[in-house]
Chains A and B, each alone.
Chain A
Amino acid sequence: ETGVTQTPRHLVMGMTNKKSLKCEQHLGHNAMYWYKQSAKKPLELMFVYNFKEQTENNSVPSRFSPECPNSSHLFLHLHTLQPEDSALYLCASSQEIGAYNEQFFGPGTRLTVL
């Protein structure tokens, strides 16, 4: 595997379910990000991790719980979601946190909440 991978690619869940999204980067990067992409809205930054430590939580509801066990893996644990949480969830990584550091994106997980 190369680049940034995400699993699953598609997920349908009910509001009472608990599920997790997984992201893995094979680039040796130190920073990882979760974004939410909804139709007709700009990309929303959710969480930022740098060397496994969370450096930013962009006022994300607690029903989204991130986990970063090491610099290569990032999870997003989901529970009691709402239909408006349906979106494409994108993971990204960069060499370091920094304004000039290009971010590399995974293909995303298309989440549908029923």
Chain B
Amino acid sequence: AQSVTQLDSQVPVFEEAPVELRCNYSSSVSVYLFWYVQYPNQGLQLLLKYLSGSTLVESINGFEAEFNKSQTSFHLRKPSVHISDTAEYFCAVSAPGQNFVFGPGTRLSVLP
């Protein structure tokens, strides 16, 4: 079975600063990796995903994540955050024949 760890429950950062949200996973088989974002009073929305191929994946709003198999990580980064990026971010892992497993989430607060 897979598991996901998001070590930081809360990350405060000033506007226009860079941010990294950490995600580590555990699995005995090859995995697919996802980052979802949840804005207040909304459901989860897919931000980006790694299925295969290039280990660096990007979203349309400036986020990127890199799959690192040796470190079993899929950290999410953005070089310059905006107030509108304030939300909860969930890392998720899945594997063939298995359902999605979500991490506990990281609350990103962007301060003016």
Chain A interfacial positions (CB closer than 8 Å to B): 4, 6, 40-43, 45, 48, 56, 90, 92, 98-100, 102-108
Contacts and interface: CB of A to CB of B under 8 A. Distances in A.
Chain B interface category by residue count: 20 to 34
Contacts of B51: 100
A107 B98 contact: no
**Looking at chain A's contact residues, is the secondary structure mostly helix, strand, loop, or mixed?**
loop
A41 B105 CA distance: 8
Interface string B31-52: 1101010000111111001010
A59 B99 CA distance: 15
B51 to A, nearest CB: 5
Contact of A99 (B4, B36, B95): B95
Interface of B: 4, 31-32, 34, 36, 41-46, 49, 51, 90, 94-105
A18 to B, nearest CB: 25
Which of A43, A99, A104, A107 has its CB near the most chain B CB atoms (within 10 A)?
Answer: A99
25 contacts: A4-B43, A40-B104, A41-B104, A42-B101, A45-B99, A56-B99, A90-B43, A90-B44, A92-B43, A92-B44, A99-B31, A99-B32, A99-B94, A99-B96, A100-B94, A103-B44, A103-B46, A103-B100, A104-B46, A105-B36, A105-B45, A106-B43, A107-B42, A108-B42, A108-B43
